Chains A and B, each alone.
Chain A
């Protein structure tokens, strides 16, 4: 098998290791850690060979040693060793990565005593986990299976460009090397789907810009110099010019309206596309993605970011082009008409840009401050409103009011700060920009009086009219960098979501069995949500088709995780799960979802009628099927008591189903699918014993030819299970029929006694 470099090994370290008699090529696994044994920062390298492993600690020193002939820098490395230890694999037992608060350490039993092998910081925790796994595998099997370590090579986890690890391995996006050009290109792909409309918008812009330039010319130079200033002109000539002005204004109004309409429809379409793409990706992602993020935050993010893009397409981008075109044309005209005056006009523009850049930084901070204050204000509100029951029951309203008051005032103050600041600064800045125009008044006036060049009164007036057209775009351009970076941020975040790879992936060449029988087998399954903390540890069991398995165990023992693994909400880390002898990783998602239904302790009903909610599992179910399913789940009786029956809108008016009712509806939903494998994960926990019995009776009939997994802590729920397993700390503590387990006097017996004792206390013996 080839070497697995979880991390890259520098040449100086390879040399050192070679000098100690280990050829770096012999290492099966090599990795780096950044903490030394005394807890100080340093470089620690671990090499795992066939029969032993070595830990070398020290500091890697880089020094530059001049330039090579081809101009590249010579960089020499030196590895200053502070500790070197070799361990024989036969002496080492149970290597374990102990997770501390922010760091961790790998500890193993060496000659029967716990011994520290090496320390690591959280940045290197993955390497440590791989090391522990590899040592255990080597000791057990004498070799490492290449396929199981195929993903570990460091090259797959670092950005190929800068060599840094991806902050989120799921996404494989390196923010450091995030290519803005690529982002814009991707955005333009969306944009250019509508190139026809865009072409029209741009044409409209050209018209606007053109008309904008002509207007001052007609209303000033033409009117004053050629008509009013000309003694031969008649009133009709004046009227003609006025009509011309009106015509031009009207035309420009029409073009404006047209372009506005076109650009908003383009933007609406693009953002619609974007939101659709995002929602599509989100629902495709694995459950792990959602547990790592707050769903609320995710939604606000998607919404506000799409809004930013909408704004970019609708306002920002078109006006940017318009401004540039208009600015270029007007500057051209001004420069060609009177070079000196034109230069005076722009005299303070560079100063203005500098000032703006400085202010922008200040504003950026003020805005960020307001944003964070507002955020904390909003989070307080949602927090208190959601927890109103608790607030009231501990009568803490006054305290909450005080907190509310403080944050509200903070938020208002931050807003006030921005407004005061901008009210003080912007008029001043605008004044700075317009200094040029005062110069033009003076110089231009002097030029007209002395008739320098071909300067005339009308030309000066049109010149001054151009100012109005030119300063607006300049001010907006100065703001471009501001919203441009905001837009890029939004695009990046959106693509981050749309690029995310689900870690539970459907097999590319799935096996589709003809008929599901419902045999389930867990073979040496291990799983952890967080690295180094196994929730399921080497669990094996099997269920014959049509049989019922009960899973008992304490809270947090990992019972629900087993259900998650069977439905592939998560994928196992080690081992495999089989249905009818086929690894579930090879089965198509659709097949899995069709044949397995789960009723979990968390019931979620969508907004809509009860009918729709039950039908969710099988949209084409007939009403008769729906009623049958509801009846079986003991839901029918309470549903028909509602005035609107099955059409009762959940959440409409004051109709909120109770916990038990929700559970019954969700059982009906699962039954309707008529799956081969049914998982009841504490499905009846929120019901009273009577109702549970009713459902149980129905379930008994149902489970006859159906593989059923029942997860429960109430043993009465499990009384019809063919087999039971008791889970403790992620391991199968015992398995067998209820009678066998009672005889074993283990975990099950304890639970049984506890619950029986509860009956005894009220005088009901067995």
Chain B
């Protein structure tokens, strides 16, 4: 029953044999892979035999960005339609890993807060100054309580008024003073 269900979904998982990743002239990730031809035809008798194709520039999206950032990565076209999936990035060839990781790092770029130097609340807005892995940053938040999400164990995702994200990897590992400051909003 379960196997059936997995087959039904018809997802192609990429590996070193059926795919090759490369960079375009301007450094964007691109893919060559053996996949069934895409067809918008709704005929039942679609040809589903995989063919080797060069897709050009491709996009990536993590399915579980918090839980398993390296597993289940969706490979998409520019309109967000999925070509295939990567089950585990670590099982891909070195060169592919490097290309994909660089792109994922850029896409999921997000300062990681190491320390909260100041947190003040004023008339419904909170003003933060934090030390991050990318230097000291200041930002403000509105409706602070609703814009801090706890994902997984102790990871916090913080959204500021502009829609920028900040991350705290494990709130329990923050120093005492920082923790006291943020504790109210948890």
Contacts and interface: CB of A to CB of B under 8 A. Distances in A.
Interface in B22-69: 24-28, 40, 42, 57, 65
Given A39-B106, A101-B165, A754 B123 contact: no
A754 B79 CA distance: 23
Given A102-B164, A175-B122, A753-B42, A113 B26 contact: yes
Interface string A167-189: 11000000110100000000000
Interface in B171-186: 183-186
Contact of B26 (A116, A125, A365, A368): A116
B41 to A, nearest CB: 8
B10 interface: no
B153 to A, nearest CB: 16
Given A40-B134, A102-B110, A750 B27 contact: no
Given A39-B106, A101-B107, A175-B124, A123 B145 contact: no
Contacts of A167: 125, 140, 142, 161-162
A168 B26 contact: no
B6 interface: no
A168 B122 CA distance: 16
Contact of A100 (B42, B106, B125): B106
Interface in A101-117: 101-103, 105, 110, 113-116
A489 B123 CA distance: 5
B110 A372 contact: no
B8 interface: no
A113 B24 contact: yes
B28 A114 contact: yes
A729 interface: yes
A681 to B, nearest CB: 25
B135 interface: yes
B82 to A, nearest CB: 16
Nearest to B62: A101
A135 B106 CA distance: 25
B152 interface: no
A116 B124 contact: no
B57 A100 contact: no
Contacts of A165: 162
A409 interface: no
B124 A493 contact: yes
Contacts of B106: 39, 100, 105
A488 B107 CA distance: 41
Contacts of B135: 41
Q: How would you classify the secondary structure of chain A's contact residues: helix, strand, loop or mixed?
A: mixed
Contacts of B25: 113
Nearest to B24: A113
Most buried by A among B42, B123, B124, B142: B123
B184 to A, nearest CB: 4
Interface in B154-174: 161-165
A372 B122 contact: no
B123 A175 contact: yes
Nearest to B28: A114
Contacts of A750: 40, 42
A365 B184 CA distance: 7
A496 interface: yes
B137 to A, nearest CB: 8
A281 interface: no
A369 interface: yes
A101 B26 contact: no
Given A168-B161, A365-B184, A754 B57 contact: no
A103 B109 contact: yes
Contacts of A101: 65, 107-110, 165
A224 to B, nearest CB: 53
A193 B137 CA distance: 46
A125 B108 contact: no
Interface string A481-495: 000000011001100
A496 B165 contact: no
Contact of B140 (A105, A113, A175, A368): A175
Contact of A369 (B27, B163, B184): B184
B62 to A, nearest CB: 9
B185 to A, nearest CB: 7
B1 to A, nearest CB: 18
B69 to A, nearest CB: 12
B108 A122 contact: no
A369 B182 CA distance: 11
B123 A121 contact: no
A71 to B, nearest CB: 28
Contacts of B105: 39
Contacts of B65: 101
A493 B142 CA distance: 11
Of B107, B145, B163, most buried by chain A (CB within 10 Å of CB) is B163
A41 B133 CA distance: 11
A317 B81 CA distance: 61
Nearest to A749: B42
Given A101-B107, A123-B162, A114 B134 contact: no
B25 to A, nearest CB: 5
B124 A102 contact: no
Interface string A362-378: 00010011001001000
Contacts of B145: 372, 375
Contacts of B185: 372
Contacts of A105: 106
Interface in A331-348: none
A760 to B, nearest CB: 11
Contacts of B134: 40-41
A178 B163 contact: no
A375 B185 CA distance: 11
A368 B142 CA distance: 16
B98 to A, nearest CB: 16
Nearest to B126: A175
A605 B182 CA distance: 43
Interface string B120-136: 00111101000000110
A114 B162 CA distance: 27
A496 B124 contact: yes
A750 B40 CA distance: 9
Given A102-B164, A122-B162, A493-B124, A754 B42 contact: yes
Highest count of chain B CB atoms <10 Å: which of A110, A114, A375, A496:
A114
A102 B163 CA distance: 7
Nearest to B103: A100
14 contacts: A39-B105, A100-B108, A102-B108, A110-B26, A113-B25, A114-B57, A121-B162, A122-B162, A175-B124, A175-B142, A178-B123, A365-B184, A489-B123, A754-B42
Ranked nearest first, the 9 interchain pairs of A and B with the lowest CB-CB distance are A102-B165, A122-B163, A167-B161, A123-B162, A175-B125, A368-B184, A115-B26, A492-B123, A122-B164
Given A101-B109, A175-B123, A757-B42, 6 more contacts: A102-B110, A102-B164, A103-B109, A105-B106, A121-B162, A372-B186
